[in-house]
Amino acid sequence: MTTQQPEHSPLGKKVDYQDHYDPSLLFPIPRRVKREEIGVDEARLPFRGVDIWNGYELSWLNARGKPQIAIATFAIPAESPCLIESKSFKLYLNTFNQTRLDDDRALVDCLTRDLRQAAGAPVAVALTRPADFAAERFAELPGESIDGLDIAIDDYSPDPSRLHADAGEVVEETLCSDLLKSNCLVTGQPDWGSVTLHYRGARIDREGLLRYLIGFRQHNEFHEQCVERIFTDVLRQCRPETLTVYARYTRRGGLDINPWRSNDPAARLPANLRTARQ
């Protein structure tokens, strides 16, 4: 699949929904362009990570034509050369609605193959079937909330100069905020999220961090790009020894996207637990 630029995607355009299998609808976007903008060399990424997607509107037909449903989880590695534009992902998943498949394995194999081709790297796919829906859990992001700080805001752009760390003892802590909001890079539609930062290093000034995070409120970027910008700005301005940034965004079109980035060798992938807003 050839990669394309966001302005050529189906975002913000009227489209006809297809309900028969069509992998050509997937729209890969190179990560390189936005990474160059924030000074990240793709050959030497300052982080490892994954984009965790959850698809809540997946349906297909079994071999006898009976509808099947599942919640699908997709893990796209941050090292992949491309992210996948979310509306194209939704359109692609809808093409299974009237597609007959022999069993769950056939569906997972198909999804795995197509998404690997689009992202340019292996993508892990898992299904949660209705018998297991009751076991699904909710949890808020870990950390001490900084949202209660009484600050005045008059600028809504993500200015890295707001970030700084206090000289002194090394601390290890987790801070979180539910006030993350950014806008779609193409349509300008709002994207709502929560973010948590775990770091070890000089103590990060909390007011400056909250001002910085609120600064994304009128910023236009995809979810994955926002998280990488946050990670890179905090790393450069505050110089922590280790840093992990994880965001959970509310769903749109039956999909939520949850990017995780870390340079901490001890950090483990987070459990894929939905927040209350998701």
What per-residue string of b and e applies to 97-131 under the rule 16 or more CB within 10 Å gives b?
A: beeebeeeeebbebbeebbbebbbeebebebbeee
**pTM > 0.75: yes or no:** yes
Tally Cβ neighbours within 10 Å of residue 159.
13
Structural domains of the chain ordered from first start: 15-133 (3.30.1130.10), 144-262 (3.30.1130.10)
Active-site hit among 184, 233, 238, 256: 184
pLDDT at 1: 44
For residue 83, give the nearest of 189, 180, 223 by alpha carbon: 223
Cα-based angle 88, 91, 96 (whole degrees, multiple of 5): 135
pLDDT of residue 109: 98
Q: Choosing from 51, 114, 178, 191, which is the catalytic residue?
A: 191
Distance CA 127, CA 192 (A): 25
pLDDT, one tens digit for every residue, the chain (278 residues): 455 655 554 545 566 888 899 999 999 999 999 999 999 999 999 999 999 999 999 999 999 999 999 999 999 999 999 999 999 999 999 999 999 999 999 999 999 999 999 999 999 999 999 999 999 999 999 999 999 999 999 999 999 999 999 988 899 999 999 999 999 998 899 999 999 999 999 999 999 999 999 999 999 999 999 999 999 999 999 999 999 999 999 999 999 999 999 999 999 999 999 999 99
184 as an active site residue: the answer is yes
Q: Which pLDDT belongs to residue 17?
A: 84
Tokens representing 131?
């018998």
Residue 119 parent element (H or E): helix 104-119
Give the pLDDT score at 10: 55
Q: Tokens representing 232?
A: 């890179």
Instruction: Identify the CA nearest to 99 among candidates 86, 119, 114.
Output: 114
Under 8 Å between Cβ of 228 and 35: yes
State how far the Cα of 177 lies from the Cα of 145, in Å rounded to an integer: 6
pLDDT of residue 16: 80
d(CA 41, CA 50): 17
Quote the longest CA-to-CA distance of the chain. Answer: 67
Residues in the chain: 278
**Per-residue tokens: 189:** 């539609």
Helix (H, G, I), strand (E, B) or coil at 6: helix
226 counts as catalytic: no
pLDDT of residue 186: 86
